[in-house]
Amino acid sequence: MRPFLFLMLLLGTAFLLTACPQTPPPPPVNPAGCPAGPLQAQGVEEPLRLEGLGRFAGEYVPGELLVLSKPGLSVQALRAEGVEPQEALSQGLLRVKVPKGQEEAKARALLRAGAQYVQPNYLYRPLRTPNDPLYTTDQKVYLNNLLRMEAAWDQSTGQESPPLIAVLDTGILDHEDFQASKYLPAGVNLDVADGDADPTDRSADRGHGLAVASVLGADTDNALGMAGVTWGGYIVPIKVFYDGGGATTSTLLQGVRLARELGVRIANISLGTNGYDGLLDQELAQARAQGMVIVAAAGNYRSPYLGYSSGGPVMFPASSPSALAVGAVDQDRRRASFSACGSELDLVAPGVGVLVAVPSGGYARFEGTSFASPIVAGVAALYMSKYASERGAWPTPDQVYTCLTQTAEDLGPAGKDNEYGFGLVRADRVLTNTTYCFP
């Protein structure tokens, strides 16, 4: 993975701009046969063909309905149903006032009285957009265009009832855009590999933990740098890599156990091995039974692996039945060539050109399932936060898994498949679905 050097790009862009003269575009042509002026009004409006009852879901103006009447439905008939006309709109629509809390009941009464169609007067709000400058220029193309994050953030930013989230990784390095989101509980040895309270990343692959954590929850809406998927904070970096070395079964066992002791609700694991680890699988099963949602990267392959025509098998722990296995797609919704495949794959998320925080204090674009996984973990955090704030209890891991997989955008062959799992995680659906997420 090579960091994208923003400074070089900026300097290169400036050079190109100064090297190429900026010629103003010619004025628009207005042919003589096309006089300028307002558009001509249509002679006849198409009649509204809606019938029956609209959906009484989402936000709408309390005590108001929109009614499409039929000939013969008089004002007296409306008032006889406890409905007061307020305003005549176009195409035969009428805005009426009804007692608050009785919107749906009055709508049904109006249909019985002879109305053609009745629905709530829905409320529309501007979608939530963070003010982090790199969100608009670098992240919106995949976070919003693919996942519809702005509609999701309008429902929850993860700050209502923020769940404790663990990032089991190489540790953490300091970055100005990952301060408020970081949670370091006092007196806790977060470096389980070396047995101390300092989770500073001294691994052979320094910066991986910071990159993963920043995708999940960089300090957001702070007018600085990048945005995280969840704005809620409370991200615990649990260092499972030895100083200068790697992670092992024993360090991961200790990391998962520490997460359980801390009451972690979501654990992101962006690391893997080929094969199966029975000890770790049992530990993950206990964590899930205790209420922890485990999200893991499916794995990366740079060349065909053991006869596979593209990618390779899902790595462990993503292949564990206790984990949500996450593969990667590019910004055109195509499976990334390196992304692991297999029946264990559950979801995919953007994993190509993902903006991350890097140890130098800057930002870079990385690729890999390591960075698709924290996107899914962040969406899970938004869902859990909204669910807990509204219902006073955390959703179970089974509820979270069902919500995310059953609302995914199906890609590839119809239904679950080995390349995309259930499909692309869709944050907007996760935060609003009333069948699988908020029944």
pLDDT digits 0-9 by tens, 99-149 = 999 999 999 999 988 889 999 998 776 678 999 999 999 999 999 999 999
- Which DSSP string do the residues of 330-375 spell out, in sequence order? -TTSPBPTTB-BSTT--EEEE-SSEEEE-TTSSEEEE-SHHHHHHH
C-alpha of 267 from chain center = 16
**Which sign does the torsion angle of CA 362, 366, 370, 376 carry?**
positive
What is residue 403's predicted lDDT score, i.e. its pLDDT?
Answer: 98
More confident residue, 35 or 438: 438
Please tell me whether residue 85 adopts helix, strand or coil conformation.
Answer: strand
Q: Are 412 and 132 in contact, with CB atoms under 8 Å apart?
A: no
Q: Which two tokens stand for residue 185?
A: 């509980």
Lowest average pLDDT, out of 9-18, 28-37, 97-106, goes to: 9-18
d(CA 143, CA 23): 35
Q: How confident is the model at residue 261 (pLDDT cuts 50, 70, 90)?
A: very high
The pLDDT value recorded for residue 310 is: 60
Using pLDDT thresholds of 50, 70 and 90, give the confidence band for residue 92: confident
288: left (phi over 0), alpha (psi -120 to 50) or beta: alpha
Q: How far is Cα 336 from Cα 333, in angstroms, rounded to an integer?
A: 9
Q: How confident is the model at residue 33 (pLDDT cuts 50, 70, 90)?
A: very low
Per-residue pLDDT at 5 = 35
Task: Give the residue, 114 or 29, on which the prediction is more confident.
Answer: 114
Active site members: 169, 208, 370
Residue 168 to residues 2, 171, 301, Cα–Cα distance (Å): 23, 8, 21
The arithmetic mean of pLDDT across residues 428-432, rounded, is 97
- What Rg do the C-alpha atoms of the chain give, in angstroms? 26
Which pLDDT value is given to residue 205?
79
Between CA 88 and CA 309 the distance in angstroms is 64
The residue among 237 and 83 whose pLDDT is bigger is: 237
User: Is pLDDT above 60 for 22?
Assistant: no
Reading the block at residue 266, the tokens are 């979501």
Q: Is the pLDDT of residue 354 over 90?
A: yes
Kindly give the residue spans of alpha helices, DSSP state H, lying in 52-168: 75-80, 103-113, 133-134, 140-143, 149-155
Count of H helices and E strands in the chain?
12, 13
With beta carbons less than 8 A apart as the criterion, state whether 364 and 5 touch: yes
The pLDDT value recorded for residue 90 is: 81
User: How far is 269 from 256, CA to CA, in rounded Å?
Assistant: 10
Walk me through the domains of the chain, giving residue ranges and CATH numbers: 52-122 (3.30.70.80), 133-432 (3.40.50.200)
Answer yes or no: is pLDDT of 41 > 70: no
Checking if the pLDDT of 418 tops 60, the result is yes
Q: Supply the pLDDT for residue 131.
A: 95
Is 28's pLDDT higher than 70?
no
Give the whole-number percent of the chain exceeding pLDDT 70.
Answer: 87
From the number of C-beta atoms within 10 Å of its C-beta (0-12, 13-18, 19+), residue 201 rates as buried
Which residues face 347 on adjacent strands? Answer: 326
Q: Using CA atoms, how far apart are residues 73 and 324, in angstroms rounded to an integer?
A: 55
| pLDDT of residue 44 exceeding 80 | no
Q: How far apart are CA 199 and CA 184, in angstroms?
A: 9
The predicted pLDDT at position 85 comes to: 87
pLDDT band (50, 70, 90) for residue 82: confident
- Rounded to an integer, the average pLDDT of 55-81 is 84
23 against 155, higher pLDDT: 155
Q: In the predicted model, is pLDDT for residue 24 greater than 50?
A: no
What pLDDT is stored for residue 344 in this prediction?
97
